[in-house]
A = this chain, B = another copy of it.
Amino acid sequence: MNFASDNHYGASPKILEAVAAIGQAPAPAYGNDPVTARVTKQLGEIFEREVAVYPVINGTTANALSLATLVPPHGAILCHAEAHIAVDECGAPEFFTHGAKLVPIDGADAKLTPAAIEAALKHFQKGFVHHAQPAAISLTQATELGTVYAPDELTAISEVARAHGLKLHVDGARFANALVGLGCTPAELAWKSGVDVLSFGATKNGALAAEAVIFFDPKDAADFEYRRKKSGHLLSKMRFVSAQLDAYLDGDHWLANARHANTQAQRLAQGLARVKDVSVAHPVQANAVFARMPSALAAKLRKAGAVFYDWGAPEDGTVLARLMLSFATPEEDVAKLIEAAG
């Protein structure tokens, strides 16, 4: 019963087969191969637009390289205080940007709002050489608390971005889960809502190590390729990463995987909500369930074999359990957890 993280699961059979199918025959290195080209084409079709696509191995890299391309060393990046880029990347954005500043902003359910962004921007005077210069907003979709931004929310944030000359970056490590939860089109959740660059995740949703950085205006990509190379993220046998993305997109595998995870999250949330003294702490809109429960119950669940993290320190004899559902979480594990809790 592993609910620790969607990155604890391995890779889907379909994706592993695609990797194996590459075999040992030679092909041009460093992404100049047909598989990589096909991924770019596929993403262009899915997002209904010409896009620049760069495969990388994980989300931290996708985020840090995106932001370094958009933000100068003297720039600032506005993000939620609980954003993965702010909390869980050991300062990767600061390293890749050569010292830009992350500005943490509070907000319910790990979400930024236009008002909170505007308030944060008031502390920075444009063109004032003593202040880091805001250059981008980065938000997480789905968020670190399992919530999502609907297209109209994205649009409202992107309007603030435009008004202040900022680029809008989305950390989409769980983009598929957000998309399935919202039921809109990929384009609506991206450039149609004003998103400039997307870290399009696959690793947490069935790949073994693959994400794609997508620039919706290829001109924004600027010197991305040099940054990717200089940071060691240009693979010689890139087609092994591209093959994962290829299989991930093929036949809506990505959406099926995310749908499974989200469905299990709904089942789990509904099951836990019926348990005495358990409450679900944030809207369940993707593949995470945050459940406040007595510490004793958490201990009992762990004894029954459940693996999950506490979010923050215990409070008044309760813990906030984070339960992540993945593309591969067995349905019976969800049932077993609910039963163990009941």
Contact = CB atoms under 8 A, between A and B. Distances in A.
Contacts of A8: 26-29
Contact of A87 (B89, B92, B123, B231): B123
A122 B334 CA distance: 31
B10 A25 contact: yes
Contacts of A56: 232
A73 interface: yes
Number of copies of chain A assembled together: 4
Contacts of A23: 10-11, 13, 16
Given A229-B92, A230-B92, A240 B26 contact: no
A74 B204 CA distance: 25
Interface on chain A toward B: helix, strand, loop, or mixed SS?
loop
A122 B314 CA distance: 12
A64 interface: yes
Interface of A: 2, 4-5, 7-13, 16-17, 19-20, 22-30, 56-58, 60-61, 64-65, 72-74, 76, 87-92, 94-102, 104, 122-123, 129-133, 203-204, 206, 208-209, 223, 225-237, 239-241, 307, 313, 326, 328
Contacts of A61: 232-233
B74 A129 contact: no
B30 A10 contact: no
A9 B239 CA distance: 11
Nearest to A64: B232
A227 B2 CA distance: 29
Given A26-B10, A236-B58, A129 B225 contact: yes
A180 to B, nearest CB: 19
A47 to B, nearest CB: 24
A156 B130 CA distance: 31
